[in-house]
Copies of this chain bind each other. A is one copy, B any other.
Amino acid sequence: MIAEIKRAAHRQLASEGANLSLRAIAREMGMVSSALYRYFASRDDLLTALIIDAYDAIGEAGERADAAVADRADLAARWLAVAHAWRDWALANPADHALIHGSPVPGYAAPQDTVGPAVRRYLVIVGILRDGVAAGSLAAPARVPPLGPPIPEPLAAELAAVAGGLGLQVEPPLLALALTGVTELFGALNFELFGQLNNAIDAERRAWYDYQARLMAAVVGLT
């Protein structure tokens, strides 16, 4: 039942944009709006459930794509597979993408429950970095010139704490490159899905994203 409601909410979100209306969901399910309160305490509760599902869905999409790359040592291929899996998911579920990567919903404050699921989509990248460090291909001494611009001490400390939270043995310079790459990819998705590419790059959007993902893989140092 809960799943059914979420599916209807999902459909409604997809067709109407970010406006989620309990009454419209109930209408679509042929129920009366008050019936939904047996399953969700409030509209915000339902919204939270949808957000968590979205984080899980994009996270799983990335994990599957990574797992499907046969040559585990080909880090660039894995990065690229994950990047395209994210884009494919976002294109197939634009409303969910907007829910988690777009402007905050007015009047809604994400509860603590969404923090865990939000991290999931990054873990697959963490896995790639870990394998690279273990294999030595990403280790700092292997790379000359040094990785990116200098990182001031307080920022390095904060990055180290992030790495620790992810259970990752990685120096701040490498983590910073990877985070920048991820930021660029989600920036590219927002540009494409929120209409910033209109009248500029229209036909070759997949190729354009592919270019950016490859460039970022190179910046991170994945080979």
Contact = CB atoms under 8 A, between A and B. Distances in A.
Given A149-B215, A158-B204, A211-B149, A18 B103 contact: yes
A176 interface: yes
Interface stretch (A34-42, A129-137, A188-196): A188-196
A151 B211 contact: yes
Nearest to A154: B204
Given A103-B103, A183-B184, A200-B162, A155 B208 contact: yes
Interface stretch (A23-31, A58-66, A104-112): A104-112
Select the residue from A115, A148, A155, A184 with max chain B CB neighbours within 10 A.
Answer: A184
Contacts of A185: 187
A19 interface: yes
A28 B187 CA distance: 36
Interface string A199-223: 1111110011001101110110000
A74 interface: no
Nearest to A162: B200
Nearest to A199: B115
A186 interface: yes
A54 interface: no
A158 B16 contact: no
B101 A190 contact: yes
A48 B93 CA distance: 27
Given A98-B103, A102-B194, A183-B188, 6 more contacts: A148-B214, A155-B204, A180-B211, A183-B184, A184-B184, A184-B187
